[in-house]
Chain A
Amino acid sequence: MDIPNLIAGSIRRAVAEVFATMLSVELGPGELVNDPALPEPPEGVVSFIGLAGPWVGTGTIMCTPALACRVCSQMLMTEAASVNEEVLDAVGELTNMVIGSVKNDLEKELGPLGLSIPTVIFGRNFKTKSTAASEWVVERFRWDGDEFLIKLCLAKNEKHAAPQPIGHTLPVDVKV
């Protein structure tokens, strides 16, 4: 089974569906990023959500503050000029819907997976690092002039014997 291809295809389908349904935006197809060790932007919004079960992993959305505000404005039909609670909440929900939809696709091949509650971070000069044993699948999307990344890594859970508690994720360090 080609897990990275499965994930990449699922991310593209999920992003198209969520943007069309919740933001009324028709996005172009995503583009697979072959260098997951991309330099991180000096300022940004990053949202994480964990997957657990026979496979464990993390899904993330990374975007600029401007794009996060645009997502919020489009989703809630309200003006968002700067990153605030409402913007972070909108990005968290976007992550929940996109990665949740990917999870639903993956479950058909990998068995039942749990989804954690998203965590959203906004700041400057921070680095993210995952200790995951598997490679990240990274898809880049463009919304007019703005770019955003959707990343997901998934590894077989060798310790899986029974359903894991929701919230069990691969650890991700955030250094500010």
Chain B
Amino acid sequence: MESDILVVDDSAAIRKILQRVLRQTGMAIKDIHEAGDGQEALELLKSKTVQLVLTDINMPNMDGIQLLATLKGSGNWKDIPVVMITTEGGESRVAEAVKLGAVGYVRKPFTADQIKEKLTGIL
């Protein structure tokens, strides 16, 4: 079954790179949707069904941790797996994300192989 993925990052550059890298993984992906922050992501999820959210942590308006907490606290979206993509190597924010229900994280900079390895078994 082909999956829809939501990529959330305030950097259009990273969203574009992730579009390319996700296609390169050869995984069964139908559509890749984009949002620039957590608020945009929540708006988009009202009209799209996705099987995975890949989100940056450090974003304006609503960051990735707030987005994750909102998704996991909701009725409709709590079962969508969320993977954090971040420059943060510090344990505290990553640990916070895992505690809130993130299924994993990928550190920037990343390679296509690292993304594929992380998503295998989730999709």
Contact A76 B13 (CB under 8 A): yes
Query: Interface of chain B, helix or strand or loop or mixed?
Result: loop
Task: Scan B2-14; emit 1 where CB is below 8 A from any A CB, else 0.
Answer: 0000000011111
Number of interface residues, chain B, beta carbon within 8 A? 20
Inter-chain contact total with CB atoms closer than 8 Å: 61
**Residues of A contacting B20 in the complex (Cβ-Cβ under 8 angstroms):** 77
Chain A hits for B87, CB < 8 A: 96-97, 100-101, 103-104, 115
- Closest residue to B108 on the A side, CB-wise? A97
Interchain CB contact under 8 A, A115 and B88: yes
Beta-carbon contact of B10 and A76 below 8 Å: no
By beta carbon, the residue of chain A nearest B60 is A117
Fill in one digit per residue for A107-129: 1 if any B CB lies within 8 Å of its CB, else 0: 10000110101000000000000
- CB pair B11–A92 under 8 Å, yes or no, is yes
**Which chain A residues numbered 58 to 84 have a C-beta less than 8 Å away from chain B?**
72, 75-78
Q: Does A157 contact B (CB under 8 A)?
A: no
Is there a chain B Cβ closer than 8 Å to A22's Cβ? Answer: yes
- Complex CA gap A89/B11 in Å reads 6
* A21 and B111 contact, CB distance less than 8 A: yes
In-complex Cβ contact of B90 among A72, A76, A107, A117 (8 A) = A107
Are A89 and B12 also in contact (CB < 8 A) when A77-B20, A104-B89, A166-B58 are? yes
What residue of chain B has the Cβ atom nearest to residue A92's Cβ?
Answer: B11
Bitwise, B104-123 to A at CB < 8 A (1) or not (0) is: 00001111000000000000
Give A82-98 interface residues, CB cut-off 8 Å to B: 85-86, 89-90, 92-93, 96-97
Residue among B17, B88, B90 facing the most chain A CB atoms (10 A cut-off):
B90
Closest residue on chain B to residue A115 by CB atoms: B58
21 A-B residue pairs with Cβ-Cβ distance under 8 Å, sorted by A, are A17-B109, A21-B110, A22-B109, A75-B17, A76-B13, A76-B17, A77-B20, A85-B12, A86-B12, A89-B12, A96-B58, A96-B87, A97-B87, A97-B108, A100-B89, A103-B87, A104-B88, A112-B90, A115-B58, A117-B58, A117-B59
